[in-house]
Chain A
């Protein structure tokens, strides 16, 4: 199935990464990564454990420092200046494997904290936006509860809403469903599919190959800190080029 490309301006890059290298001490975890993400593009990143998938997407909103290379998000070049970093983080939403909701705040407050404190939106406006996105993820009735009172699937949907409240230009997902009980995976994936339909630019690290087949424009396979192979999902799954990709696909499918 093909979703319409909502890219009014093809060729406009939301994220462009070039020559990215990162080390943890002596461990070389990202090796010469080049990656361009066009507006509206949906990318799924796959690869064995420890291959550097999380590290790569965490570099994009500077949750990880890197030693070499350049990352440009929506025209802003990342530097280690705090103002620039905060600016970039406004453009980038992130959903974590472990949800990472703020347990001391209500669901609504979770969603409004960033807009109110981060870019000084007034409280009413922020609440309106938050309610809009909570409706979108199908849990407006939970707005005044605390995260601890919600199921894992509900929490992850709140986390998605929280990111959307920032009105980001690109969303990063780091294995958003792998901490969930199986019966809750679908409710989160459905939200992600909806987002994809609306043309959100997405980078998803996930092992949900069904999701990749359904929505991805491109699947990227990483191993040992390198991008080994990237292709359209159909080609990627039916006709992998590299030995390592074949091995990986055999293990997970």
Chain B
């Protein structure tokens, strides 16, 4: 047991620093994806609710596809397809030039697509939960459509979205592990490297699992705190 824990030490013969570096990459990827996934969730929700029928159909195809495909398959397709697409663009201008898209960027794109397809349903449900009456009241005091959305609807939507987005964040956090498969040096990949040299898969994967459980725990605490703040000044029922 003692030998095992030294494997986690920092420095030349321990893997602690590498794992920490990998954890950093995992977290940066997750945090970097959040704003894009959020914005796309709203965009797709808006497209699915807009009066234009062709646009709505596009929105429905988007969500059907990205909710049906395994995340890992989406990731692989984005990774290779983006690469070949960009290369076919650049090769027209500069023949002997080839770019390789970073796994980090591919991961961000794929995770954004996948989680916005889920997130848009959260947004739509929250919009419906706020209710038509609020929109009408906002219009009746002559707010424009954008003012009605930003000052009346959106502030009330957070209350309904936060629990579901908290869940989505946990999914996203776990989803980042897939990016190790397309060679991003995240915590999973560093764990695999550690195992390749130390031949201690059970120990290292257990540590890895523990790290994720810990992240889930911290996220849960953070979520409760945020929800408390968001609901603090809004008394709905007497």
User: With contacts A148-B234, A162-B141 known, is A96 near B133, CB below 8 A?
Assistant: yes
CB neighbours of A86 from chain B (8 A): 142-144
Task: Please measure, in the bound complex, the distance between the C-alpha atom of A87 and the C-alpha atom of B205, giving whole angstroms.
Answer: 64
Interface size class of B (residues with CB under 8 A): 20 to 34
Task: Please measure, in the bound complex, the distance between the C-alpha atom of A61 and the C-alpha atom of B152, giving whole angstroms.
Answer: 19
Verify B140–A103 contact, CB threshold 8 A.
Answer: no
Task: Please measure, in the bound complex, the distance between the C-alpha atom of A149 and the C-alpha atom of B237, giving whole angstroms.
Answer: 8
B221 at the interface (CB under 8 A from A): no
Using a Cβ–Cβ cut-off of 8 Å, how many residues does chain A contribute to the interface with B? 30
CB neighbours of A149 from chain B (8 A): 235, 238
CB neighbours of B139 from chain A (8 A): 61, 63, 89
Verify B233–A146 contact, CB threshold 8 A.
Answer: yes
CB neighbours of B142 from chain A (8 A): 86-87, 89-90, 114, 118-119, 166
A117 at the interface (CB under 8 A from B): yes
Task: Please measure, in the bound complex, the distance between the C-alpha atom of A113 and the C-alpha atom of B138, giving whole angstroms.
Answer: 9
Verify A146–B143 contact, CB threshold 8 A.
Answer: no
Q: Quick one: which of B142-178 are within 8 Å of A by CB? A: 142-145, 147, 151-152, 155-156
B134 at the interface (CB under 8 A from A): yes
CB distance from A165 to the nearest CB of B (A): 8
Verify A117–B151 contact, CB threshold 8 A.
Answer: yes
Q: What 1/0 flags go to B124-142 for Cβ under 8 Å of A? A: 0000000001101111111
CB distance from B157 to the nearest CB of A (A): 10
CB neighbours of A94 from chain B (8 A): 136-137, 140
Count of chain A to chain B residue pairs whose CB atoms are closer than 8 Å in the complex = 79
Verify B152–A102 contact, CB threshold 8 A.
Answer: yes
Please tell me which one of the listed residues B137, B147, B238 contacts residue A102 in the complex, with CB atoms under 8 A apart: B137
Task: Please measure, in the bound complex, the distance between the C-alpha atom of A93 and the C-alpha atom of B145, giving whole angstroms.
Answer: 17
Please tell me which one of the listed residues A148, A151, A163 contacts residue B237 in the complex, with CB atoms under 8 A apart: A148
Task: Please measure, in the bound complex, the distance between the C-alpha atom of A118 and the C-alpha atom of B143, giving whole angstroms.
Answer: 5
A250 at the interface (CB under 8 A from B): no
Nearest neighbor of A91 in chain B, beta-carbon distance:
B142
CB neighbours of B134 from chain A (8 A): 100, 102
Verify B234–A117 contact, CB threshold 8 A.
Answer: no
CB neighbours of A162 from chain B (8 A): 141
CB distance from B192 to the nearest CB of A (A): 48
A199 at the interface (CB under 8 A from B): no
Most-contacted residue by chain B among A61, A117, A149, A151 (CB, 10 A)? A117
Nearest neighbor of A148 in chain B, beta-carbon distance:
B235
CB distance from A65 to the nearest CB of B (A): 11
Nearest neighbor of A114 in chain B, beta-carbon distance:
B141
Task: Please measure, in the bound complex, the distance between the C-alpha atom of A61 and the C-alpha atom of B143, giving whole angstroms.
Answer: 12
Binding site for B on A (CB under 8 A): 61, 63, 82, 86-87, 89-90, 92-94, 96, 98, 100-104, 113-114, 117-119, 146, 148-149, 151, 162-163, 165-166
Apart from the given pairs A82-B145, A96-B137, A146-B234, 20 other A-B contacts in the complex at a CB distance below 8 Å: A86-B144, A89-B141, A94-B136, A94-B140, A96-B136, A100-B136, A102-B138, A103-B234, A103-B235, A104-B233, A113-B152, A118-B144, A118-B147, A146-B235, A148-B235, A148-B238, A151-B238, A163-B141, A165-B141, A166-B141
**CB pairs A–B below 8 angstroms (14 shown):** A61-B139, A61-B140, A86-B142, A89-B140, A96-B140, A100-B133, A104-B156, A113-B141, A114-B141, A114-B142, A117-B151, A118-B143, A118-B144, A163-B140
